[in-house]
């Protein structure tokens, strides 16, 4: 049932089902909410499932800050087969010949991927080169040179190494496969930075092991502070919209930005922010959190209301002793 138009501002955590694009989910939410403004942070491939953050109303203005958060995934790496898309939707480009690696070799190689590395974005991705998304070039049969990008794997934990059922049956009449398995499935949890392509991570691991590999399944379990336990299904969302109760599952802009340091302003500075005026350092009455020069901070009124996102010119100790004329510039006015 399509909902009536309603004013909603906040972040909604959705558990995206397989087969839906992130845009499909946005369109569905928009229809259920009667045309409300809806955006998302962090695209998921259609075959992937899990956490998708929808920004409703004013929350669309903070999407760029939410997308910076670390993400946690549960993935299945299928070793022994490489594909042109680096996932299970693509055409097979190579199959391993000979024995597949044992658990010790898999552990050793995957452990090397923890830390800061560089990866080349996959051709089937939304990254734009000279204004054209790579997936459009890929569909046209063109391979485009693209620079490697830095990413960080904070942790990687192997949960299991198994032989998938489909590799146990081959040949005429479905005769059982004789000999060692032709593929291995490695299920693992990974916590990584913004911009990490888990598909490419799987392909790179397969290449490092010398047998090829691709992403067979993916579930995003967390973005920043929001996990699957916070998520609603699309059926849940439809039911909530039908009762005009979507607001009961919304997270406020302030809550969504809970990890961002806070500066409380005096009344004069708070009024100035509402008119787009930068904040003199001397008019900050309280500071919470730690940050480096150039970081983004929440700017709030004396009563705790979120007013804007600002950018600080220095760390907290320097800001307390800042020279006259030092200001916190405004990135986004939200009040």
Active-site residues, by number, are 45
121 and 91 in contact (C-beta within 8 Å)? no
Q: What secondary structure letter does DSSP report for 176? A: B
Taking the C-alpha atoms of residue 159 and residue 186, their distance in angstroms, rounded to an integer, is 8
The separation between CA 32 and the C-alpha centre of its own chain, rounded to angstroms, equals 24
Largest CA distance in the chain: 83
User: What is the sign of the dihedral through the CA atoms of 168, 171, 172 and 177?
Assistant: negative
**Residue 252 backbone class (left: φ over 0; alpha: ψ -120 to 50; beta: rest):** beta
Q: What residues does 75 pair with on adjacent strands?
A: 188, 218
Beta carbons within 10 angstroms of residue 200's beta carbon: 19
Strand order of the β-sheet with 306-311 is 279-280, 327-333, 306-311, 296-300, 262-265, 284-288
Q: DSSP letter at 223? A: E
- Sequence-ordered strand ranges (E) for the chain: 10-16, 38-41, 49-56, 71-79, 81-83, 92-95, 115-119, 128-129, 132-133, 149-162, 184-192, 213-223, 226-227, 262-265, 279-280, 284-288, 296-300, 306-311, 327-333
Q: Compute the distance between CA of residue 88 and CA of residue 217 in angstroms, rounded to an integer.
A: 8
């Amino acid at each position: 049932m399509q909902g009536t138009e309603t004013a909603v501002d906040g972040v909604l955590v959705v558990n995206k089902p397989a087969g839906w694009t992130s845009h499909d989910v946005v369109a569905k939410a928009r229809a259920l909410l009667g045309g409300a403004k809806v955006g998302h942070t962090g695209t998921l491939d259609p075959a992937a499932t899990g956490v998708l953050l929808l920004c409703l109303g004013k929350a669309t203005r903070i999407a760029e800050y939410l997308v910076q958060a670390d993400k946690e995934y549960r993935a299945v790496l299928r070793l022994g087969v490489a594909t042109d898309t680096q996932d299970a939707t693509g055409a097979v480009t190579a199959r391993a010949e000979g024995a597949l690696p044992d658990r010790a070799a898999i552990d050793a190689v995957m452990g090397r991927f923890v830390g800061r590395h560089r990866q080349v974005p996959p051709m089937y991705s939304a990254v734009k080169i000279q204004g054209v998304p790579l997936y459009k070039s890929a569909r046209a049969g063109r391979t485009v040179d693209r620079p490697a990008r830095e990413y960080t794997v904070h942790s990687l934990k192997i949960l299991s190494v198994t032989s998938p059922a489909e590799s146990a049956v081959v040949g005429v009449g479905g005769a059982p496969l004789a000999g060692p398995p032709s593929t291995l499935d490695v299920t693992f949890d990974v916590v990584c930075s913004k911009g990490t392509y888990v598909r490419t991570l799987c392909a790179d691991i397969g290449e490092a092991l010398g047998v090829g590999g691709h992403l067979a399944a993916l579930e995003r379990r967390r973005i920043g502070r929001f996990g699957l336990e916070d998520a609603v299904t699309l059926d849940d969302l439809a039911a909530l919209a039908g009762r005009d109760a979507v607001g009961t599952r919304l997270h406020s802009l302030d809550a969504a930005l809970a990890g961002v340091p806070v500066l409380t302003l005096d009344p004069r500075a708070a009024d100035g922010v509402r008119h787009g005026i930068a904040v003199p350092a001397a008019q900050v009455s309280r500071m919470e959190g730690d940050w480096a020069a150039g970081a983004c901070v929440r700017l709030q009124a004396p009563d705790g209301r979120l007013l804007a996102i600002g950018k600080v010119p220095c760390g907290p100790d320097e800001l307390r002793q800042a020279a006259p004329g030092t200001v916190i510039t405004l990135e986004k006015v939200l009040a």
